[in-house]
Amino acid sequence: MSNNSLSAAIDAAGGALNLLRNSKAGIYVYPVVAAEFSNWRSEQMAWRNSAVLFDQTHHMDELTVEGPDAESFLSYIGINNFANFKENVAKHFVPVTPAGHVIGDMIIFRESEEKFVLVGRAPTANWIRFQASYGKWNVRLFHDPRSDSRPDGKAVFRTHYRFQIQGPDANAIFEAMNNGPIPEVKFFHVDWINVGNRRVQALRHGMAGAPGLEIWGPYADKHYIQTTIAKAAQDAGVDLRFVGARAYSSNTLESGWIPSPLPGIYSGDGMLQDYRDWLGADHFEAVGSLGGSLESDNIDDYYVTPFELGYDFYIGWKKDDFIGKAALEAMRDAGNQRKKVTLEWNREDVMEVIMSSFEPGLAYKWIDFPNHNFSSSNADELLKEGKRVGMSMFNGYSYNERCLLSLAVVDADVEIGDILTLKWGEADNSSKSSIEPHKQCDVRVKVAPTPYAQDARDNYADSWRTNAE
């Protein structure tokens, strides 16, 4: 074990929970992109009412995997079925630990027989990199990590720019920038389109409601592509809004994706211990933070499974083997899995929390708008009649819905319409630099469907967001 490993950092902190609860990383931020271009409320409304441009260039890792064993390697790591995974198709790639706990997720693109590109958060990229060194696989990896959270004026470079355009008026922009109708691209399929005088790859995808297009290309073209999209929107008479980091981080509240589950890698022996020894003390998993009211001495209580996140229909049960298969089979056979829901926060309780900051004495935990990004992973305790029934994992405000929302996992017997109690704030304040002195309170929350937005339920009817498959 290196003195600069995650294992060493855990030992120095007196355990993984102490390390994560008292992280000095500060507020979780989406790097480089401006906080707002107009204002976050108008930017939120635009993905419902006109069109938006999400700049996804900087906050995600990009990992290229190629070689004769690339498919078998990735199929062994992820739960996904790789049968009929053809070129120019993408999947939502989900790996789990040997115990069946989710590590994270990425979008995986198949560019050729032996080449795949994965885009998403750091925990999944790190796990794949470790597996390439852990086993005997004939693969080559190229890793382009996310931009620094706080570059402080330093030059920033990426391999590719990455934009997403979506909203009810997005098609008019596509036609203007393509100089004509774009090809009919199926959901999660890739084709080529024009953006001015550039040929770019485009994925049919969506994040906040109606599916749009995600486009990418060489980073050197970023400014040209961005200005050409803006000009196409102007020519088409579309009120295109560039979305800043504040609004961007809230779009998933309406569409139902939980972006930051705690990676299930902080406990367990064998491969997991080897992984913690391999991970550096400067990696995301070591410097990230865990916030919220859920208190447990067992870090496993903060992990989630594919069943709980609605990813179970991805599982390639017919594959000979993959990491975590036996554990997932046992979970499937046991039944009674927790499920993902949306929670509506009670307005009166929210106002009481906010008003406490205008009164003398110790206030309740501050509620940031639109998102409460005071930790990289969040877990707030949910109670029903005094009994713990789940955890709220991602919170924020939707100006479109005019309410605070959470994405949560709850016990199987919790029903739509139930009123639960969310414990807001930490009972014993941690020493996270993102936490101010505060007192804890109860907030009533109403259980609602996921996705919360009707547009998302309609347009994603055949996806993990609805559990339709």
Q: What is the pLDDT, as a whole number, of residue 2?
A: 79
Which of 94, 135, 119, 92 is closest to 275 using CA atoms? 135
Phi-psi region of 232 (alpha: psi -120 to 50; beta: other; left: phi over 0): alpha
Phi-psi region of 26 (alpha: psi -120 to 50; beta: other; left: phi over 0): left
Asked if residue 230 is part of any domain, the answer here is: yes
Question: For the chain, how many residues are written?
Answer: 469
What does the block give as tokens for 218? 């060489």
* CA 214 and chain centroid, separation: 16
The type of residue at 76 is Y
Asked if residue 173 is part of any domain, the answer here is: yes
Segments forming the whole domain that contains residue 209: 40-59+151-248
Which of 31, 51, 34 is closest to 229 using CA atoms? 51
**Three-state secondary structure readout of the chain:** CCCCEHHHHHHHHCCHHHHHHCCCCCCCCCCCCCCCCCCHHHHHHHHHHCEEEEECCCCCEEEEEECCCHHHHHHHHECECCCCCCCCEEEEECEECCCCCECCCEEEEEEECCEEEEEECHHHHHHHHHHHHHCCCCCEEEEECCCCCCCCCCCCCCCEEEEEEECCCHHHHHHHHHCCCCCCCCCCEEEEEEECCEEEEEEEECCCCCCEEEEEEEHHHHHHHHHHHHHHHHHHCCCEEEECHHHHCCCHHHHCCCCCCCCCCCCCCCHHHHHHHHCECCCHHHHCCEECCCCCCCHHHHCCCHHHHCCHHHECCCCCCCCCHHHHHHHHHHCCCCEEEEEEECHHHHHHHHHHHHCCCCCECCCCCCECCCCCEECEEEEECCEEEEEEEEEEEECCCCEEEEEEEECCCCCCCCEEEEEECCCCCCCCCCCCCCECEEEEEEEECCCCCHHHHHHCCCCCCCCCC
Going 213 to 29 to 94 to 44, the CA torsion angle's sign is negative
Contact 272, 98 (CB under 8 A): yes
Asked if residue 404 is part of any domain, the answer here is: no
What is the rounded CA–CA span in Å between residue 25 and residue 16?
Answer: 15
C-alpha distance across the termini of the chain, in Å: 43
Contact 311, 93 (CB under 8 A): no
What is the rounded CA–CA span in Å between residue 242 and residue 210?
Answer: 17
Q: Is the peptide bond before 451 cis (omega within 30 degrees of 0)?
A: yes
pTM above 0.85, yes or no: yes
Contact 451, 342 (CB under 8 A): yes
Asked if residue 380 is part of any domain, the answer here is: no
In the chain, the largest separation of any two C-alpha atoms, in whole Å, equals: 66
What is the rounded CA–CA span in Å between residue 316 and residue 314?
Answer: 6
What is the rounded CA–CA span in Å between residue 108 and residue 20?
Answer: 29
Asked if residue 296 is part of any domain, the answer here is: no
Q: Is the peptide bond before 449 cis (omega within 30 degrees of 0)?
A: no
Q: Total structural domains in the chain?
A: 1
What is the rounded CA–CA span in Å between residue 128 and residue 104?
Answer: 11
Contact 437, 443 (CB under 8 A): no
What does the block give as tokens for 347? 């307005």
Q: What is the pLDDT, as a whole number, of residue 207?
A: 62
What is the rounded CA–CA span in Å between residue 104 and residue 365?
Answer: 28
Q: What is the pLDDT, as a whole number, of residue 453?
A: 78
**Each residue's pLDDT expressed in tens, for the chain with a length of 469 residues:** 778 999 999 999 999 999 999 999 888 889 999 999 999 999 999 999 999 999 999 999 999 999 999 999 999 999 999 999 999 999 999 999 999 999 999 999 999 999 999 999 999 999 999 999 998 999 999 999 999 999 988 999 999 999 999 999 999 999 999 999 999 889 999 999 999 999 999 999 876 556 699 999 999 999 999 999 999 999 999 999 999 999 998 999 998 999 999 999 999 999 999 999 999 999 999 999 999 999 999 999 999 999 999 999 999 999 999 999 999 999 999 999 999 999 999 999 999 999 999 999 999 999 999 998 899 999 999 999 999 999 999 999 999 999 999 999 999 999 999 999 999 999 999 999 999 999 999 999 999 999 997 765 565 544 544 443 3
Asked if residue 178 is part of any domain, the answer here is: yes
Contact 185, 213 (CB under 8 A): yes
> What's the CATH code of the domain at 215?
3.30.1360.120
Asked if residue 351 is part of any domain, the answer here is: no
Instruction: Report, in angstroms and rounded to the nearest whole number, the Rg of the chain calculated over CA atoms.
Output: 22
What is the rounded CA–CA span in Å between residue 42 and residue 45?
Answer: 5
What does the block give as tokens for 307? 């069943």
